[in-house]
Amino acid sequence: MMNHSLPDSSSMPSLSMPEEFRYTDEELIARFQDGDEQAYVELVNRYRNRLMSFIFRFVNDMEKAEDIVQDTLMKLYTHRHFYRNIAKFSTWIYTIAGNLAKTELRRKKRHKVTHLSHMGTEEREYQLPSVEPETGETAQGHFAEKQIQKAIQELPLHFRTVVILRDIQELSYEEISKIVDVPLGTVKSRINRARLQLQQALKEYR
């Protein structure tokens, strides 16, 4: 019986090591493309929580987010040879994750519409978001995490993606432009609009 499990990444220069001794993401994917599965494990360890944060802020569902991150990392495993060293690895992996998250949201939306259409007008019940504003925390200057999360969910998808990538994932405008495949100017404008919308929404929660 063959052992199909992944190797332990302990022999790989890990995250705790100083930067100069660590492989870059691009070096790791190159090694993985050459058959080194430890490099894959290292990439998974580097990206799983970053992707989880991105996807959770996007879909607002822990279980779904984890499934999407798993799907993304499976795609990395099965489609490793699709990566070409012309773009940053992070751009590539975020693009995959973002596309899977959008697909999931569209599927969820379709499901919701179908569900409502089966109901009569009198029995229709619109679920209010479960997240309640926490007025006590806003007094300190920062908005509560749940309030922001709720406000993010109200943003249109094209605003939501870019603002999460910029203000939560802290990616550069150039990288975001490549991930969402829109011009740099459009990205800047969308981020600005998204921030203004969030500011308006959060003002109402106060």
Partner 1 sequence: MDRYQFEDLISDFIENKLSMIQRKDFETYLDENPEAMQQLDSVKQVIASMKSMPEVSTSTDFMKNLNKRIAAEKETQSVVKTTRSFAGYTPLMASLSAVVVVAVVLLGLEFIPEATNQATFTPTMAEQQVDDLPVLPTQPNDELLAENEDDSTHVDEDMPNTTDFKDRIQLVGDRRP
Q: Is 62 in the site for partner 1 (CB under 8 A)?
A: yes
Q: Is 139 in the site for partner 1 (CB under 8 A)?
A: no
User: What's the number of CA atoms in the CB half-sphere (13 Å) around residue 111?
Assistant: 6
Fill in the per-residue mask, 75 to 104: x = in contact with partner 1 (CB under 8 A), - = not in contact.
--xx--------------------------
Of 95 and 138, the one with the shorter C-beta distance to partner 1 is: 138
Q: Is 46 in the site for partner 1 (CB under 8 A)?
A: no
User: 6, 116, 119, 184: which one contacts partner 1 (CB under 8 A)?
Assistant: 6
HEC readout, the chain:
CCCCCCCCHHHCCCCCCCHHHCCCHHHHHHHHHCCCHHHHHHHHHHHHHHHHHHHHHHHCCHHHHHHHHHHHHHHHHHCHHHCCCCCCHHHHHHHHHHHHHHHHHHHHHHHHHHHHHCCCCCCCCCCCCCCCCCHHHHCCCCCCHHHHHHHHHCCCHHHHHHHHHHHHCCCCHHHHHHHHCCCHHHHHHHHHHHHHHHHHHHHHHC
In whole angstroms, the minimum distance from the beta carbon of 196 to partner 1 comes to 6
Of 11 and 114, the one with the shorter C-beta distance to partner 1 is: 11
Whose tokens are 């939306």? That residue is 109
User: 12, 28, 39, 65: which one contacts partner 1 (CB under 8 A)?
Assistant: 65
Q: Is 50 in the site for partner 1 (CB under 8 A)?
A: yes
Of 85 and 189, the one with the shorter C-beta distance to partner 1 is: 189
Binding site for partner 1 (CB under 8 A): 2, 4-6, 44, 48-50, 52-53, 56-57, 62, 65-66, 69-70, 73-74, 77-78, 141-143, 145, 148, 163, 167-168, 170, 188-189, 191-192, 195-196, 198-199, 202-203
